[in-house]
Amino acid sequence: MKNYALYFLLLLTGLLSAGCQKDADLLDCEPPVVASALQTLATKHGVPTHKVNVPNNQYNVIRTPKGGVIAFNDNSFEFKDGQALPATAQLEVRYREIYDKADMILSGTPTVSNGQPIESAGEFYIKAFSNGKELRQKKNKSIFINTPVRRGQTLPGMQIFFGTTAADGSFNWLLPSASDTQSRVWTSTAIDSAFYNLTVANDTLGWINCDRFLNLSPLTKVEVTVAGALPSNTLVYLVFRNRNAVMSARFDPAAKTFTASNMPEQEPLSVLVIQEANGKYYFARQEVTITTNMRLAPSLQEVSEADLVARIKGL
Count of the separate structural domains present in the chain: 2
Does 118 share its domain with 255? no
DSSP bridge partners of 163: 173
Q: Tens of pLDDT along 199-213?
A: 999 777 899 999 999
Does 204 share its domain with 236? no
Q: Tens of pLDDT along 235-292?
A: 999 999 999 999 999 998 888 899 999 999 999 999 999 999 998 999 999 999 999 9
For residue 195, give the CATH number of its domain: 2.60.220
Does 262 share its domain with 283? yes
Does 256 share its domain with 173? no
Q: Is the pLDDT of residue 13 over 70?
A: no
Exposure pattern of 277-294 as b/e (b: 16+ CB <10 Å)?
eeeebbbbbeebebeeeb
Last residue of a domain, one of 159, 186, 213: 213
Q: Tens of pLDDT along 226-242?
A: 988 888 899 999 999 99
Does 172 share its domain with 300? no
Range in 48-52, 150-154, 169-173, 230-234 with the lowest mean pLDDT: 150-154
Domain that residue 112 falls in: 4-213
- pTM across the whole model: 0.87
Does 55 share its domain with 12? yes
Does 98 share its domain with 201? yes
Residues 113 and 103: their CA atoms lie apart, in Å, by 18
Output the pLDDT for position 122: 95
Output the pLDDT for position 39: 79
Output the pLDDT for position 170: 84
Last residue of a domain, one of 213, 228, 256: 213
Output the pLDDT for position 151: 64
Last residue of a domain, one of 184, 213, 242: 213
Angular region, 65: left φ>0, alpha ψ -120 to 50, beta rest: alpha
Does 152 share its domain with 72? yes
Map the chain to HEC letters: CCCHHHHHHHHHCCCCCCCCEECCCECCCCCCCCCHHHHHHHHHHCCCEEEEEEECCCCEEEECCCCCEEEECCCCEEECCCCECCCCCEEEEEEEEECCHHHHHHHCCCCEECCEEEEEEEEEEEEEEECCEEEEECCCCCEEEEEECHHHCCCCCCEEEEEEECCCCCEEEECCCCCCCCCEEEEEEECCEEEEEEEECCCCCCEEEEEEECCCCCEEEEEECCCCCCCCCEEEEEEECCCCCEEECEEECCCCEEEEEEEECCCEEEEEEEEEECCEEEEEEEEEECCCCEEECCCCEEECHHHHHHHHHCC
Does 236 share its domain with 177? no
Does 111 share its domain with 203? yes
For residue 303, give the CATH number of its domain: 2.60.40
Does 74 share its domain with 179? yes
Residues 266 and 276: their CA atoms lie apart, in Å, by 31
Does 126 share its domain with 272? no
